[in-house]
Homo-oligomer: A and B are copies of this chain.
Amino acid sequence: MSDVIIMEVENLDPIFKPKTMAVIGVSTTNPLFPGTIIYNKNLHEYPVKVFAVNAKGGSLEGNPIYKTITEVPAKVDLAVLVIKAKYVPEELKKCGEAGVKSCIVVSGGFAEVGHSCLEEELIKISKEYSLPFMGPNCIGIHTDFVDTFILPSERLATPPSGNVAVVSQSGGVLIDQILSKFYERQIGVAAAASIGNKAIINEITLLKYFNKHPQVSTIVFYNEGFKANSGQEFVQLAGSLNKDIILLKGGKSKFGAKAAQSHTAAIATNFSLISSSFRQAGIIEAVTEVELVTFTKAISFGLKGTENGNIVILSISGGHAVLAADLCAYYKLNLVQLTDDQKNLLRANVNPSIVDIASFENPIDLTGSVSDEDIEKCLELLLSFDSVEGVVVLLVPYVPTITMQIGRRLSNIVRNNKIKKPVVAYLPWLEIYGIIIRGLELAKSIPVAHTVEEAIQMIHALHLKGLKNKHR
């Protein structure tokens, strides 16, 4: 029976791209009631046609409130249930009877507080009607077409549309640690889902769905624990797919595992074992929330992985070069040793005033007397060296000899580079340098990090990606 529903839920378009939607549980008196928030934001901000449902009837925003889902005068792709837990089974059943194609159960009060029987009831109904649902105990989803997050739009930061799909076991982490940070760093999102107790739709269902999703190239997971056996299945499936998968696991430490158990009843596991199976399957594992963001930025740019992590640091500040070199050691990246010929070639191509003060050992320090052209020439040459798989440019743009066009100039070099070696950049996050950031990131040529640590994390992510290709 389980197989039947798994087969059915593989196409989840009615959830992620609904044309019609019903919100079951709205309030006519409290504008901050979750169901009302969901109804209003979809009515005014999204293309989906939305219907309000409440047994009391009445009207909301000038539209009728239907007393039951069966009264809604349209075929409903997605019903969102925002009612007390004890009423959910009955309403879910009605959805099944009314031919609703999919549901999101926002309501909490199920397995997460020990009411497993109530959750079992939902699973039974779902299977009976072949009605896939997300949740319970989740904050739902966000795409270009629909947003079921129970939070007011003006409180949220929404990232731009893009090629990343996000699946999170925690609604708070999804909204805040992922979507707000993606907004800050302008990482584009195709779909974001909070899966809550994942009674029916889980990581595996969504991995299959997003694997076939034409807009999605990178799939990001926040996970606190898999249900019995599904961890292994997830890893096997991930290993067989060609899309990039990034995962942050919460609850790895003793403290964290205990916290995860109260949060999502996640079972403590031997983490180093899991970690190595992730790596074998080509899953790019982020160790911290910050890594999750920087990894996603670099990977979502579609850059080539570096199989051996052989990189060059190109800096214009000696101190930055030192800090970056320390971080490369930490991340087990290899600072390629340049040959004398290569160093002489670099020297011959920069302006004479820096030849004696610059250091052409890797990390390269062109010093603050550098010009745009020096950086350009060096980057172009470095990308042409066989031994170099990728370059990290540390751009410290305060010196007036670096112009605001440096971003475009470096982006042009990367876009004209036939071998498509990855380049990532560090640039301080100051408003005045926005034009350089936009230049660098033009057509997804060079992802920009705003700490040296994040820049090295980015090139580390591309090494983790490269390892996957190497092991195949």
**Cβ of A330: which chain B residues have Cβ within 8 Å of it?**
253
Cα distance A323–B397 when bound, in Å?
35
A208 to B45 CA separation, bound complex (whole angstroms): 61
> Given A108-B357, A155-B432, A368-B171, is A322 in contact with B250 using a C-beta cutoff of 8 Å?
yes
Contact B176 A322 (CB under 8 A): no
How many chain copies?
A: 2
Asked if A263 meets B318 with Cβ closer than 8 Å, knowing A180-B430, A254-B329, A289-B451, the reply is: yes
Given contacts A251-B326, A451-B289, A453-B290, contact A321 B398 (CB under 8 A): no
Q: Does A306 contact B (CB under 8 A)?
A: no
B250 touches A173 (CB 8 A): no
Closest residue of chain B to A262 (Cβ to Cβ) is: B359
Docked complex Cα distance between A222 and B320 (Å): 11
By the criterion CB–CB under 8 Å, are B172 and A255 in contact? no
A259 within 8 A of B: yes
**A17 is an interface residue with CB less than 8 A from chain B:** no
- A63 sits at the interface (CB 8 A): no
Q: Are A176 and B398 in contact (CB under 8 A)?
A: yes
CA distance A11 to B452 in the complex (A): 36
Q: Is the CB of B180 within 8 A of A428?
A: yes
Decide if A319 is an interface residue (CB 8 Å cutoff): yes
- Is the Cβ of B319 less than 8 Å from the Cβ of A169? yes
Which B residues lie within 8 Å of A434 (CB)? none
- Is the CB–CB distance between B318 and A264 below 8 Å? yes
Known: A263-B322, A325-B258, A325-B259. A172 touches B396 (CB 8 A): yes
CB distance from A36 to the nearest CB of B (A): 11
Q: Is A361 part of the binding interface, using a Cβ–Cβ cutoff of 8 Å?
A: yes
- Identify which of residues 3-25 in chain A touch chain B, using a CB-to-CB cut-off of 8 Å: none
* Residue A170 at the chain B interface, CB threshold 8 Å: yes
Tell me the residues in window 410-468 of chain A with beta carbons closer than 8 Å to chain B beta carbons: 428-430, 432, 451-453
Q: Which of A175, A262, A328 has the most CB of B within 10 A?
A: A262
Q: Which residues of the other chain, B, contact A157 by a CB distance below 8 angstroms? A: 428, 430
B368–A250 contact, CB under 8 A? no
Chain A 171-196: CB-based contact to B (< 8 A → 1; otherwise 0): 11111110011011000000000000
- The minimal Cβ–Cβ distance linking A355 to chain B, given in whole angstroms, is 11
Which residues from chain B contact A356 at a C-beta distance below 8 Å? 113
The answer to whether A244 has its CB under 8 Å from any CB of chain B is no
Once the chains are docked, how many angstroms separate the CA of A382 from the CA of B259? 18
Q: Is there contact, CB below 8 Å, between A156 and B255?
A: no
- Tell me, in angstroms, the Cα distance from A170 to B289 when the chains sit together: 30
Least CB distance, A440 to chain B, in whole angstroms: 16
Please state if A400 and B152 are interface contacts (CB–CB under 8 Å): yes
Q: Which of B260, B316, B319, B324 contacts A322 (CB 8 A)?
A: B260
Which residues from chain A sit less than 8 Å from chain B, CB to CB? 32, 37, 108-109, 113, 151-152, 154-157, 168-177, 180-181, 183-184, 222, 224, 250-256, 258-260, 262-264, 288-290, 316-330, 335, 356-357, 359, 361, 363, 365, 368, 396-401, 428-430, 432, 451-453
Closest 6 pairs (CB-CB, A-B): A170-B319, A172-B317, A253-B329, A263-B318, A173-B319, A256-B326
